[in-house]
């Protein structure tokens, strides 16, 4: 059962997210799954203003574009350094290697690391099509870390970060749904009107591979934070 907290102030939403992470850390969490995207930027900005110390913690990112080197401004490695790691270093931070020569070797390497360091906490955004990480609709709920071909809608949604859609990579590495579901505790942020429809599917406890995020309805410890209020005709 997915729990939800709705906020009328973005500042309160992100403060609550920070408090949830601090609480997880205080309860012994040391391995954190992290996410990228516009939704996470204010969260990382807020974390950087606190005295939270991740220097004994390990992080894993959900995904990385194929073909972008870590120094490319749109790579998720670059994003993480810029928004979090430069200010709040972890003992070790892992991301899939977008330049890996052999996808099968790379996905096995990453999944092996995840199994070696089980996730205590996983932060998630959600795509308008219901993706979590880059697990696009139709991905098996049993999936482990794998190579994906991005949906056109995902490339379009992310084109705002590139100078043109042609520059948005067509493939990515992502943790699988099963890799994500193994995390002991999951915090999902769904921010903005564009996420309303998919949030409703998630909260309706649908369970369908057509909407990857609905896998979470079978996870014992998921909290969703959103700025979206219930629609009046549903109250
Ligand atoms: P966004 O991306 O935070 O940029 O909306 C979320 C996602 O696609 O998972």
**Binding-site residues, ligand 1, Cβ < 6 A:** 37-39, 125-127
Strands laid side by side in the 146-149 sheet: 63-65, 171-174, 146-149
Global pTM value: 0.96
The domains found in the chain, sorted by start residue, are: 2-226 (3.40.50.1360)
Is 111 known to be catalytic?
no
Closest atom, ligand 1, to C-alpha of 131: 9
Does the pLDDT of residue 231 top 90, yes or no? Answer: no
User: Model confidence over 117-150: pLDDT tens digits?
Assistant: 999 999 999 999 999 999 999 999 999 999 999 9
Residue nearest atom 2 of ligand 1, based on CA coordinates: 37
Q: What pLDDT score was predicted for residue 234?
A: 57
| Options 72, 129, 206, 219, the catalytic residue | 129
CA 125–ligand 1 middle distance (angstroms): 5
CA 79–ligand 1 middle distance (angstroms): 13
| Options 64, 111, 136, 227, the catalytic residue | 136
Q: Please state the rounded mean pLDDT for residues 180-207.
A: 96
Q: Of the candidates 76, 80, 100, which has an alpha carbon nearest to the alpha carbon of residue 90?
A: 80
Residue 33 pairs in a beta bridge with 60, 122
Q: Please state the rounded mean pLDDT for residues 103-109.
A: 98
Q: Of the candidates 209, 189, 67, which has an alpha carbon nearest to the alpha carbon of residue 136?
A: 209
Q: What pLDDT score was predicted for residue 1?
A: 80
Is 131 known to be catalytic?
yes
Q: What pLDDT score was predicted for residue 77?
A: 98
| Options 63, 64, 106, 111, the catalytic residue | 63
User: Model confidence over 35-81: pLDDT tens digits?
Assistant: 999 999 999 999 999 999 999 999 999 999 999 999 999 999 999 99
């Amino acid at each position: 059962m997915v729990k939800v907290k709705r906020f009328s102030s973005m500042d309160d939403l992100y403060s609550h997210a920070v408090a949830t992470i601090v609480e997880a850390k205080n309860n012994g969490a040391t391995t954190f799954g992290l996410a990228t995207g516009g939704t996470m930027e204010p969260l990382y900005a807020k974390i950087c203003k606190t005295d939270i110390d991740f220097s004994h913690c390990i992080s894993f990112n959900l995904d990385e574009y194929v073909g972008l080197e870590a120094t490319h401004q749109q790579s998720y490695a670059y994003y993480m350094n810029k928004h979090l790691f430069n200010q709040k270093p972890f003992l070790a931070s892992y991301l899939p290697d977008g330049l890996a020569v052999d996808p099968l070797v790379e996905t096995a390497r990453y999944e092996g690391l995840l199994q070696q360091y089980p996730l205590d906490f996983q932060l998630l955004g959600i795509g308008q099509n219901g993706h979590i990480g880059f697990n696009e609709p139709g991905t098996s709920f049993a999936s482990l870390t794998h190579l994906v071909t991005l949906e056109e809608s995902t490339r379009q949604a992310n084109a705002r970060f590139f100078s043109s859609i042609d520059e948005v990579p067509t493939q990515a590495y992502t943790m699988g749904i099963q890799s994500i579901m193994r995390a002991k505790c999951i915090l999902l942020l769904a921010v903005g009107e564009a996420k309303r429809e998919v949030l409703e599917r998630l909260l309706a406890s649908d369970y369908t591979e057509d909407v990857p995020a609905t896998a979470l309805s079978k996870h014992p410890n998921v909290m969703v934070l959103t700025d979206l209020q219930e629609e009046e005709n549903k109250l």
